[in-house]
C-alpha cells in the first residue's frame, strides 16, 4: 500500500512535467495526418485499446474507460493511469519511388478517477490526445533561378505536420441499479495544428527558411453515455453488457496564423481569426459478453458523419485553408472492432503471476474520416495483441499492447501506410477516502 | 523518447503529392534588387592625430591624375622633445647638424620622377588631434625646398645653419619638463612645390635628427595632420562613381522597402543575400599612364545608418574587394533584407568607405582610389553589371 501511494504521488508529480509538453510529441507519422484535424485518437482504457476499440460496454474495476462516462460509476479504487506509445509508419505510393519510414512517440493520456459512492457514483478526469498531425515528407529540387551565373541551385524542402488536439474531460457516472448506469462528461478540446515548410541548402551562406501555417483551435463539447448489464443470460454468473455513448457536435473555433522563422524567433506575417470547423456528432455502440471472470468478448462500432462537417476557415484571405483541401476532403467515419481477453485466474488473486496476467487480442476496421482526393474512400485494418501484468499491489496493473495495421491505398496517387508499434500504460489503483472505523 | 523516435527516420517524398491540395511551394527565387539611390559623399575625414592614435599617416605632394583630377596634400608635423637624452654634449656643445628624416611609405602618382617639396616653419602651436582634412592653419615662413625620390626608403633633409642657430635654444629648452618647448616650437609644414606625386609618411618614423660633434638624438613625430584639396577631372564618366580616401570617401546607397519592387517581397523569408558593388577595372587601366601608381583600397568598411539616424552600425569592418568589385554576403545581409521584408528596415542608408592600405583600419587615411559603377540611368533597366543586391527568397 505504501509503495502504491509513493508511486501514485510520483506519477502525479510527473504530470506536472508531462502536461506542459503534451503538444510536443516527438517524431513523425502518416501523411494522412495532414488532413482534417489530424489522425484521430481513441481515448478509452488500456484494456479497451488492446481489444481493438473504445470498449463502451466494457465494465471493469481495474480501468477507467474514458469513452463512456456511464462506466465511471463502477469504481472502487482511486485510480491514476498514464501511458505512452511508439509507432513506426512505412509509407509507399504516390508519384515518389521508395518507402518512407517514420517513427513517433507520444504520451497517451493521463486519467484520474475516484468513487464518490462505491460502485454507485464515480468521478473521472482525463487529459488525452484527440488528434495528432505528424507527417513528414522531404524532396530534393533544383531552383529555376540561381544567384550563380553558371551553376544551378539545388535545395531541399521538408514538409512537416506538428501538433494536434487534446482534450480535458471531466464528468461522472451513476449506477441506478445492477441493470443500468448513465454518465456525462464535459470536454474542452484545444490545441494547435501546424504545417511547416523548411527550405534548406547545402551551399554556404544560405539560410534555411521556415514557413509555418498554424491554426489554434478550441471547443467545448460533452459526452453522454449509458450502460446496460444483463446477468445470468446464457449461464450462471455470465454478463451481457451493452454500452452507448455520444459525443455532441462541437464547433472548433480557430485562429489561423502564418509565421516565418523558428520557435521563439517567429514573425507573424498574417493572421485570420473568427473561423470555425463544426465537428459532427460521434456515436459509439458496444457489446461485451463475459461468460466467466476469465473471459471477455467485445464488439464495438462507431459512426461520425464527418462529410457533413462545415468549415468557415477555407477562405483564402491568409492563403491557406483549414482543413487542408476544404471539407470536401472529409468523409463519414465508421469503425468496427472486436476483441477477446483471457485471464486464466479470473478474479482469484492468489493464483500464479502468469495466471493472473490477462492476454488480449483485438482487431479493428475503420473507414477513415479523410479522403484527400475527395473521391477515394480510405480504410484501415489493424490487429492488436496485448498483455496486462498484475503487480504485487492489488488494483495496479501494467499493460503492454502491440499493434500492426495498414491504411490507405497506393491507387489514385495516394499512399499506403504499414504501421506497427507498442504502447505501455500503468494503471494504479488505491483505496482513498476510507471512513475511519473504531476497532 | 526523442532519441528513440529520431534515430530511425527515413523521410522521403512519399506523400507529397497526396490529395487535390498537395504539398507544394518552397521553391527559392533569386532576384536582383537595384538600390533606390546611390551617391558618392564627400566627407572631410579626420586626418590629424597625436602619437598613439590613428591616423599615423600624413601626406604631402600634388598629383594630376587623368582619371581623378588634381589632388594636393599638405603635411603638418610637430615633434617630441627627448628631454632625458638632452644631457652632456647634446645639452652643452654646439649643434653641428639638424636634419628632418622622412621615410616614404606610399606613393600616389608618378613614380618615375622626383618631386620637390617645400618645408615651412609653423608660426604658432596648433592642435592636430582630431583635425580634419579641410582644416586651415596659419602659414609660416619657408625654410627650404628639397627633392624627394618617391621610391627611396629614407630621405634626410638637412636644415640650414640659420634655422639651427635660430632654433637651438628652443630645442634645448627643457624648462617645465618640456612645456617651454611645446609653447615655443610649432613644427613644420611640408607642401608640394613641383612634381606629380603625393607621398605618404608615417608619423612614427619621421623625426628631427639633432647632432653635436659627439652625440646625436632624434625628436620623433608627436602630432601630424594632412590637409587636402582636389579639383575633379572632366574625364570621369557620369555612370561611374569615384571613391577616394580623404576626399569623396564614402559610397552611400539606400533601399526603400516600401516602394517597388521591394514592397512586393514583404513577408518573404530570405535564404541568402549579397550586396554586389562592381568596380570599373577597364577604364581604370586605360586611364593609368606608365609608371603612375594609383593604389586601390585593400579593404572597405560597410556601415549602416540606423533608421532613426542616431547610430552608425559597422556591418563589416574589413570587406575585401574581388576583381570585379565588392561582394558582401553572409548572415548580416540576410538579416538586413529579412528585417526590411518582415518588419521595418533597420537602416536608412548604407555607407562604404575605403580602409587605409597599411593598417587595414578605417581610422587610417589614404588617397587610394576606387571606381564604382553608378545606378543605371533607366531605373527599370535590368543591369546585371550595376550595383545591386542579389537576394534569394522563398515565397510562401
- Cα–Cα dist B217/B238, whole Å: 54
Q: Which of A423, A336, A366 is nearest to A40 (CA)?
A: A366
pLDDT at A433: 65
A258–B21 C-beta distance less than 8 A: no
Chain B contact for A325, CB < 8 A?
yes
Continuous segment of H or E residues that includes residue B174: none
Instruction: Give the chain B residue whose CA is nearest to the CA of A161.
Output: B23
Q: What is the CATH number of the domain that holds B388?
A: 2.60.120
B77 and B226 co-located in one domain: yes
B253 and B224 co-located in one domain: no
Helices and strands: H and E segment counts in chain A: 3, 21
- How many Å separate Cα B177 from the centre of its chain? 37
Reply yes or no on whether the pLDDT at A218 is more than 80: yes
Q: Please tell me which residue, A316 or B251, carries the higher pLDDT value.
A: B251
Domain boundary among B232, B257, B281: B232
Number of domains, chain B:
2
pLDDT at A26: 65
Q: Which of B127, B96, B81 is nearest to B221 (CA)?
A: B81
Decide: A98 and A439 in contact? Cβ < 8 Å. Answer: no
Chain A contact for B136, CB < 8 A?
no
For the residues A34-42, what does the mean pLDDT come to? 94
Chain A contact for B352, CB < 8 A?
no
Helices in A153-222 by DSSP H: which ranges? none
Chain A contact for B138, CB < 8 A?
no
B272 to chain A nearest CA, in Å? Answer: 5
Decide: B83 and B180 in contact? Cβ < 8 Å. Answer: no
A103–B8 C-beta distance less than 8 A: yes
Neighboring chain A residues of B29 at a CB cutoff of 8 Å: 143-145
- Cα–Cα dist A172/B241, whole Å: 82
For the residues A130-149, what does the mean pLDDT come to? 90
A341 bridge partner residues: A296, A360
A97 bridge partner residues: none
Residues 244-263 of B with CB under 8 A from A: none
B27–A143 C-beta distance less than 8 A: yes
For residue B87, report the phi and psi dihedrals to the nearest 5 degrees. -145, 170
- Cα–Cα dist B320/B359, whole Å: 14
Reply yes or no on whether the pLDDT at A12 is more than 80: no
Residues 200-219 of A with CB under 8 A from B: 201, 205-211
pLDDT at B232: 87
pLDDT at A316: 62
B253 and B320 co-located in one domain: yes
Chain B contact for A271, CB < 8 A?
no
Domain boundary among B198, B232, B266: B232
| Calculated CA dihedral for residues A212, A213, A219, A225, nearest 10 degrees | -90
A95–B392 C-beta distance less than 8 A: no
B30–A146 C-beta distance less than 8 A: yes
B184 and B291 co-located in one domain: no
B165 and B70 co-located in one domain: yes
Decide: A31 and A44 in contact? Cβ < 8 Å. Answer: no
| Domains contained in chain A, CATH given | 2-144+151-430 (2.40.160.60)
Domain membership flag for residue B179: yes
- Closest Cβ opposite residue A199 in set B4, B19, B28: B28
Domain membership flag for residue B145: yes
Interface test with B, best of A206, A209, A259, A323 (most B CBs within 10 A): A209
B121 and B266 co-located in one domain: no
- Closest Cβ opposite residue B15 in set A100, A101, A270: A100
Neighboring chain B residues of A98 at a CB cutoff of 8 Å: 12, 14
Domain membership flag for residue B328: yes
Q: Which of A376, A363, A305 is nearest to A336 (CA)?
A: A363
B76 and B158 co-located in one domain: yes
B280 and B362 co-located in one domain: yes
- Cα–Cα dist B280/B278, whole Å: 7
Burial environment of residue B146 by CB neighbours within 10 A (0 to 12, 13 to 18, 19 or more): buried
- Render pLDDT for A317-352 as a digit per residue (tens, 0 to 9): 556 889 998 999 999 999 999 999 999 998 888 899
Decide: B59 and B191 in contact? Cβ < 8 Å. Answer: no
3-state class of A263 per DSSP?
Answer: helix
Domain membership flag for residue B17: no
Q: Which of B115, B127, B38 is nearest to B78 (CA)?
A: B127
Q: Please tell me which residue, B369 or A124, carries the higher pLDDT value.
A: A124
B227 to chain A nearest CA, in Å? Answer: 42
Domain membership flag for residue B19: no
- Cα–Cα dist B294/B65, whole Å: 9
- Closest Cβ opposite residue A414 in set B18, B25, B392: B18
pLDDT at A319: 62
Neighboring chain B residues of A91 at a CB cutoff of 8 Å: 14-15
Helices in chain B by DSSP H: which ranges? 2-6, 89-92, 161-172, 179-184, 281-286, 331-342
pLDDT at A348: 87
Domain that holds residue B124: 49-232
Decide: B146 and B116 in contact? Cβ < 8 Å. Answer: yes
B261 and B381 co-located in one domain: yes
A209–B271 C-beta distance less than 8 A: yes
- Do the bridges between strand A250-260 and strand A282-292 make them parallel or antiparallel, or are there none, so unpaired? unpaired
B181 and B293 co-located in one domain: no
pLDDT tier for residue A434 given thresholds of 50, 70 and 90? low
- Do the bridges between strand A397-408 and strand A295-304 make them parallel or antiparallel, or are there none, so unpaired? unpaired
Domain membership flag for residue B23: no
Q: What is the mean pLDDT of each run of 10 residues along chain B (396 residues)?
A: 55 84 86 92 87 91 94 96 82 91 94 96 93 93 95 94 94 86 94 96 94 91 94 88 80 94 92 94 91 90 88 89 88 94 91 69 76 78 76 90
Helices and strands: H and E segment counts in chain B: 6, 24
- Cα–Cα dist A241/A285, whole Å: 11
- Cα–Cα dist A159/A144, whole Å: 20
pLDDT at A102: 92
- Render pLDDT for A174-188 as a digit per residue (tens, 0 to 9): 999 999 999 999 999
B254 and B223 co-located in one domain: no
Neighboring chain B residues of A103 at a CB cutoff of 8 Å: 4-6, 8-9
B13–A324 C-beta distance less than 8 A: no
- Cα–Cα dist B294/B288, whole Å: 8
Neighboring chain A residues of B331 at a CB cutoff of 8 Å: 207
Count how many pairs of residues, chain A against chain B, have C-beta atoms within 8 Å: 191
A31–B392 C-beta distance less than 8 A: no
- How many Å separate Cα B89 from the centre of its chain? 44
B145 and B255 co-located in one domain: no
B389-to-A65, B205, B326 alpha-carbon distances in Å: 62, 43, 11
B272–A207 C-beta distance less than 8 A: yes
Chain A contact for B153, CB < 8 A?
no
pLDDT at A147: 87
Q: Which of A226, A163, A125, A159 is nearest to A23 (CA)?
A: A163
Cell of B41: 559623399
Amino acid at each position: 500500500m505504501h509503495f502504491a501511494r509513493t508511486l501514485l504521488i510520483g506519477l502525479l508529480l510527473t504530470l506536472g512535467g508531462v502536461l506542459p509538453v503534451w503538444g510536443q510529441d516527438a517524431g513523425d507519422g502518416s501523411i494522412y495526418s495532414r488532413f482534417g484535424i489530424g489522425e484521430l485518437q481513441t481515448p478509452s482504457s488500456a484494456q479497451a485499446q488492446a481489444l481493438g476499440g473504445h470498449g463502451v460496454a466494457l465494465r471493469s474495476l481495474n480501468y477507467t474507460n474514458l469513452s463512456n462516462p456511464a462506466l465511471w460509476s463502477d469504481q472502487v479504487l482511486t485510480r491514476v493511469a498514464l501511458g505512452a506509445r511508439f509507432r513506426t509508419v512505412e509509407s509507399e505510393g504516390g508519384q515518389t519511388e521508395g518507402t518512407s519510414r517514420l517513427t513517433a512517440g507520444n504520451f497517451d493520456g493521463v486519467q484520474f478517477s475516484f468513487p464518490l459512492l462505491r460502485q454507485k457514483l464515480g468521478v473521472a478526469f482525463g487529459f488525452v490526445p484527440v488528434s495528432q498531425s505528424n507527417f513528414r515528407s522531404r524532396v530534393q529540387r533544383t531552383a529555376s533561378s540561381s544567384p550563380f551565373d553558371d551553376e544551378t541551385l539545388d535545395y531541399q524542402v521538408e514538409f512537416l505536420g506538428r501538433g494536434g488536439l487534446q482534450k480535458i474531460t471531466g464528468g461522472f457516472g451513476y449506477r441506478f441499479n445492477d441493470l443500468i448506469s448513465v454518465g456525462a462528461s464535459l470536454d474542452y478540446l484545444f490545441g494547435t495544428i501546424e504545417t511547416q515548410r523548411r527550405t534548406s541548402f547545402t551551399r554556404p551562406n544560405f539560410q534555411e527558411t521556415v514557413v509555418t501555417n498554424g491554426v489554434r483551435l478550441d471547443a467545448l463539447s460533452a459526452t453522454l453515455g449509458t450502460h446496460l448489464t444483463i446477468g445470468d443470460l446464457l449461464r450462471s454468473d455470465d454478463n451481457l453488457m451493452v454500452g452507448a455513448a455520444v459525443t455532441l457536435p462541437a464547433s472548433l473555433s480557430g485562429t489561423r496564423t502564418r509565421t516565418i522563422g523558428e520557435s521563439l524567433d517567429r514573425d507573424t506575417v498574417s493572421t485570420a481569426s473568427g473561423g470555425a470547423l463544426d465537428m459532427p456528432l460521434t456515436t459509439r455502440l458496444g457489446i461485451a459478453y463475459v461468460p466467466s471472470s476469465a473471459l471477455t468478448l467485445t464488439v464495438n462500432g462507431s459512426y461520425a458523419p464527418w462529410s457533413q462537417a462545415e468549415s468557415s476557415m477555407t477562405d483564402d484571405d491568409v492563403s491557406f485553408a483549414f482543413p487542408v483541401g476544404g471539407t470536401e476532403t472529409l468523409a463519414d467515419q465508421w469503425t468496427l472492432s472486436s476483441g477477446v481477453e483471457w485471464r486464466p485466474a479470473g478474479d482469484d488473486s492468489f493464483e500464479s503471476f502468469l495466471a493472473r496476467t490477462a492476454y488480449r487480442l483485438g482487431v479493428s476496421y475503420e473507414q477513415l474520416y479523410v479522403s484527400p482526393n475527395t473521391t477515394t474512400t480510405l480504410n484501415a485494418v489493424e490487429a492488436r495483441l496485448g498483455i496486462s501484468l498484475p503487480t504485487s499491489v492489488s488494483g495496479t496493473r501494467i499493460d503492454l499492447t502491440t499493434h500492426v495495421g495498414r491504411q490507405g491505398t497506393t491507387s489514385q496517387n495516394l499512399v499506403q501506410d504499414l504501421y506497427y508499434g507498442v504502447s505501455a500504460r500503468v494503471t494504479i489503483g488505491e483505496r482513498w477516502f476510507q471512513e475511519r472505523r473504531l476497532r | 523518447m526523442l532519441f528513440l523516435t529520431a534515430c530511425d527516420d527515413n523521410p522521403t517524398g512519399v506523400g507529397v503529392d497526396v490529395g487535390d491540395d498537395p504539398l507544394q511551394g518552397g521553391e527559392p527565387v533569386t532576384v536582383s534588387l537595384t538600390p533606390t539611390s546611390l551617391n558618392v559623399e564627400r566627407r572631410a575625414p579626420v586626418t590629424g592625430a597625436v602619437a598613439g592614435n590613428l591616423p599615423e599617416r600624413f601626406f604631402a605632394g600634388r598629383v594630376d591624375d587623368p582619371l581623378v583630377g588634381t589632388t594636393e596634400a599638405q603635411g603638418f608635423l610637430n615633434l617630441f622633445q627627448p628631454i632625458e637624452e638632452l644631457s652632456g654634449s647634446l645639452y652643452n656643445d654646439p649643434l653641428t647638424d639638424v636634419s628632418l628624416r622622412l621615410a616614404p611609405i606610399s606613393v600616389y602618382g608618378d613614380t618615375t620622377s622626383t618631386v620637390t617639396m617645400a618645408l615651412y616653419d609653423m608660426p604658432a602651436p596648433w592642435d592636430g588631434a582630431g583635425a580634419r582634412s579641410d582644416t586651415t592653419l596659419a602659414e609660416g615662413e619657408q625654410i627650404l625646398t628639397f627633392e624627394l625620390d618617391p621610391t627611396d626608403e629614407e630621405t634626410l633633409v638637412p636644415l640650414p645653419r640659420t634655422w639651427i642657430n635660430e632654433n637651438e635654444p628652443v630645442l634645448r629648452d627643457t624648462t617645465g619638463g618640456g612645456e617651454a618647448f611645446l609653447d615655443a616650437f610649432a613644427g613644420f609644414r611640408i607642401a608640394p612645390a613641383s612634381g606629380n606625386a603625393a607621398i605618404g609618411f608615417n608619423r612614427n618614423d619621421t623625426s628631427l635628427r639633432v647632432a653635436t660633434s659627439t652625440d646625436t638624438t632624434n625628436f620623433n613625430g608627436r602630432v601630424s595632420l594632412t590637409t587636402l584639396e582636389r579639383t575633379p577631372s572632366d574625364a570621369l564618366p557620369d555612370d561611374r562613381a569615384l571613391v577616394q580616401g580623404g576626399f569623396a570617401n564614402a559610397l552611400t546607397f539606400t533601399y526603400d522597402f516600401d516602394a517597388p519592387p521591394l514592397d512586393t517581397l514583404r513577408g518573404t523569408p530570405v535564404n541568402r543575400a549579397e550586396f554586389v558593388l562592381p568596380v570599373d577595372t577597364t577604364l581604370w587601366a586605360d586611364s593609368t599612364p606608365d609608371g603612375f601608381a594609383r593604389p586601390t583600397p585593400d579593404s572597405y568598411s560597410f556601415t549602416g545608418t540606423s533608421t532613426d539616424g542616431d547610430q552608425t552600425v559597422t556591418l563589416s569592418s574589413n570587406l575585401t574587394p574581388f576583381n570585379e568589385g565588392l561582394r558582401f554576403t553572409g548572415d548580416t545581409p540576410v538579416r538586413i533584407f529579412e528585417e526590411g521584408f518582415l518588419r521595418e528596415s533597420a537602416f536608412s542608408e548604407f555607407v562604404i568607405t575605403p580602409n587605409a592600405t597599411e593598417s587595414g583600419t578605417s581610422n587610417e587615411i589614404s588617397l587610394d582610389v576606387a571606381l564604382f559603377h553608378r545606378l543605371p540611368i533607366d531605373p527599370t533597366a535590368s543591369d546585371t553589371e550595376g550595383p545591386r543586391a542579389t537576394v534569394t527568397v522563398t515565397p510562401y
